[in-house]
Chain A
């Protein structure tokens, strides 16, 4: 195979202001043009998504005076996938006086991202983190508190400071309900038009500017075109390309992929975060994977049998025949090594035939020592709800039998490319939250996605959208404009085509098969050979999809199989781009491990000389080679070092 992509011109300007890094966000806010209040009332912004990013953005834009049209595929904005986040949200408040600061959070995030993120953005994120906590407390988010009534924090994901704010194991739920309530207040005030059970199926670009979307009413099947002065995508991540992931079942790439097809560059699609502590697959019926909070690794010890093929019950395996492999390989960090390292180590021991449980795809997470040391009550106080959830799903009691865990796809760092203003390469199209690529580089730190979603939605976007809109007013657009007609016709004919195939395979059967290809070849470990094979397999499967898919029912009703089939069709195209991106990046970095690029002792080997850039891909046609545009990354404040956890 020749190289499946071509080189394009580099990205010259990210619009980050010059000058000392701690002044850049202030500078940008000052230079941003303002829209006067009377004009805001005449302007409309479409926001797709009601998670932390979209919910907070829609509420804030409405407060500022804009008219907002908001969309989500669930039956209520309160159910966006953000609701499922458990662990917490980072903020550089330094309430503990343990040496935290904005600069340290900035530093940790750039380093944690394995030096593949943009310094200016990350610095801004760290700065805004403190305001987020103030905002959420004012909204009534019931964060955990200490006896003195002040906010409690914990250290999370191997951070050396205690900067993670939390609400039991339901931080995402509480933060999202805060944003949702602010959004409902604006709906009641008539500033937000809420469209739940509506799915965006295309972007409308007129005269080079994003001016609207094509949506399907998921209850009636009606297709409509909706217009605005700017469009914001807050549609979340694309982890479900793997079929099995910790994401909600409906999470999809359609909104961002359709924008990509319309000209928005897609950056670093191969950067996927695989979380080490999830409940293993129990059978072919498995429909999703459940995350067990990372905090379990604070007290649980990870092990597998020393001998391959040892099928004894864990209690029958004597101490001497157990391999506490994380403690053995990484004596300095032990069970607390970062997510990517813990995940790959689990894969390696399972590949050696030493995995636990059905299919040998699991490792033990054992609390026997913790129970002996702290007592059962103390362990229960700390992890009781997690143990209960585990037992509910597996039917096993983790106080008596060690838990079994296995890595699962959890988060996607890649997404639509955005500049410092969170603007994509299509003027008027902004992208926020997990849907963009901006702040986490090649690996995201625990408790930083919630922070980013809310920073984007409450603080960054409301400031930068105004700067764009101040250039208006833009010419009026309507459903009869040729661009709108073309987009709408495209959506309709695709739906007609999906229904017309009437083949013999279900949407889920294709999705599962695509997921298996991605997990095998574009998962925890990637190779040149494997990725090339995956690209060929994906193309074949995509062709088969369009001749054998069976979608029952019609397009004029609630049709969940039709929704699925449309999302899978887009996943196929994304999957190919992910493999191309993974193939071209011959270094290992963060969540991307290339078997060809490792140190003598099997650790990831980054290649700063050739790969210190973000890869932004341009769409040229389905199955056609995409064009690579590089955004060079420069590090003025945090100097690249190789990570070491030994």
Chain B
């Protein structure tokens, strides 16, 4: 099929970006979206132009490295699908497709479609872990975990840290990401000792990194490739309230 692509091109962090139009006329419906961009890049290289920079690695929807805003939607039109798992059969011959990077104050553009998401790592550094030094662990069966808790913790833990939630949020909030980790660790017995300091520290780090506040709009969960539910944010709010109002947090 034949496609018109309008792609955000930006030389570097401080460069001024703009949309550039390209056409491709040999796109197969079996291609993935990134394979379609590979084809474009091969052509650009041979014609002496700069290929489009974009992040990707696993191309299986699990590493969280890929991500673009496609026709205004983070990761494109298919629900619960990362950009790398989106296939061209969902587009039609003659379509015009707009392709832009994640846009958020906390994720500055590095080049073209590549953004800096290290702010996510800084939220995890603030408390997104269980302090469990190597070698000091008790026997795994010493603490049974009720299956419903284990399953719910797993659901929250499936977050791939791609940043689509932030890109979709009108406030540029990273609350769904933060809540997914707080819910995952907070549901497990191993996560209890640090439960309340964790939520306070992670939210502080979230705000410091330049993410906006959450006003429960729900765009985040709509684009989340792993379908992390909005309830995780309620879980976070409950823990935060207990921690701050109930004096469970030392501060």
| Residues of chain A whose beta carbon lies under 8 Å from any beta carbon of chain B | 56, 59-60, 63, 74-79, 81, 83-84, 93, 95, 131, 133-135, 137-140, 142-151, 167-168, 170, 173-174, 177, 180-182, 184-185, 187-188, 194, 196, 219, 248-250, 282-283, 285-288, 290, 389, 392-395, 458-459, 462, 504, 506, 508-509, 550, 552-553, 557-558, 560-561
Contacts and interface: CB of A to CB of B under 8 A. Distances in A.
A552 B46 CA distance: 9
Interface residues of B, number: 80
A553 B49 CA distance: 9
A180 B124 CA distance: 9
B117 interface: yes
A83 B63 contact: yes
Given A79-B63, A248-B57, A285-B38, 15 more contacts: A63-B134, A79-B57, A84-B60, A138-B130, A144-B154, A147-B147, A149-B150, A174-B157, A283-B30, A392-B78, A392-B87, A458-B134, A508-B38, A550-B46, A561-B51
A285 B118 contact: no
Nearest to B61: A389
Interface stretch (B164-172, B185-193, B214-222, B232-240): B185-193
B132 A557 contact: no
Nearest to B134: A60
B89 interface: yes
A77 to B, nearest CB: 8
Contacts of B61: 389
A197 to B, nearest CB: 9
A552 B41 CA distance: 11
B146 A149 contact: yes
17 contacts: A76-B121, A77-B121, A134-B138, A135-B132, A139-B130, A140-B190, A142-B153, A142-B184, A144-B154, A151-B140, A188-B125, A290-B59, A395-B29, A459-B134, A509-B42, A557-B12, A558-B53
A135 B135 contact: yes
B248 to A, nearest CB: 19
B160 to A, nearest CB: 8
Contacts of B81: 392
A550 B103 CA distance: 32
B126 A76 contact: no
A134 B139 contact: yes
A182 B132 CA distance: 8
Given A142-B153, A250-B57, A393-B85, A76 B118 contact: yes
B144 A75 contact: no
Interface of B: 11-12, 28-32, 34-36, 38-39, 42, 44-46, 48-51, 53, 55-65, 78, 81, 85, 87, 89, 110-111, 114, 116-118, 120-121, 124-126, 128-141, 143-147, 150-151, 153-154, 157-158, 160-161, 184-185, 188, 190-191
A560 B34 CA distance: 14
Nearest to A457: B134
A74 B125 contact: no
Which 9 interchain pairs have the tightest Cβ spacing?
Answer: A149-B144, A181-B129, A138-B137, A138-B132, A188-B125, A142-B154, A134-B137, A282-B30, A137-B140
Contacts of B11: 557
Nearest to B158: A170
A177 B177 CA distance: 14
